[in-house]
Amino acid sequence: MSIHHGPDEKPYKAALTFDDGPDQVFTPQILDLLKQMKVKATFFVIGKNAAKYPEIIKRIENEGHILANHSWDHANFHHLNEYQIKKEIMQTDQLLTSITGHKPLLFRAPYGNITSSLEVQLKSMEHLLIGWSVDTRDWAGPDVPTILQTVTKQIRPGGIILQHCASGQQVNLTNTIEALPLIVQKLTKEGYTFVTIPELLSTQAYKMEP
């Protein structure tokens, strides 16, 4: 089963997550902002993008953020068989391990599409399936006030906030960049502390490889 939020308890915590990266345009800007604000986040990365920008993968980890698996090429798992699903996960695991020295244990399904085959594969590979409780839909290009309103409306203690950190066809994340400091400022004023997914769920992020 996918985990969509953490414990609903005080002190209030929330997790920022960023999907689909890395890229060389928006991911560095997000990392710059997070560094300025002293906030740690969780990045669900696509394998083929990580292969293009291994130096950004290293930066994500070196700056204290968590790396997680978001498949190799963001395929719709409803259209894949068991072998193809396993390959999507394993390729990304292997690539991230080659860059960082350890295998990610967190996984997020592309489009949030979860199948029984995926659940079986994740269990056998010791991965934890992570969803979200706040969907900013930033990939669709909402304006900054709309992004902020969505977060304000949907956030609850233990919330997992979904945003993106890589552009694509007809995807512009300029508003994501502008909204990020406002989200952090507003929720901090409301008593929230920002944590990574492993911190929120009291779980491991990686399996160390020999």
Cβ atoms of residues 147 and 138 within 8 Å: yes
Which one of 70, 74, 127, 164 is the catalytic residue? 164
Cα distances (Å, whole numbers) of residue 49 to 14, 96, 144: 26, 11, 26
Cα 171 from chain centre: 17
Q: Report the C-alpha gap between 194 and 175 in whole angstroms.
A: 20
Query: How many residues are listed for the chain in this entry?
Result: 210
The verdict on whether 19 is a catalytic residue reads: yes
The verdict on whether 138 is a catalytic residue reads: no
SS3 of residue 127 by DSSP: coil
Which one of 19, 23, 93, 138 is the catalytic residue? 19
CB atoms within 10 A of CB 70: 29
Side chain identity, residue 56 = I
Q: Which helix (H) or strand (E) holds 137?
A: none
Annotated catalytic residues are 19, 164
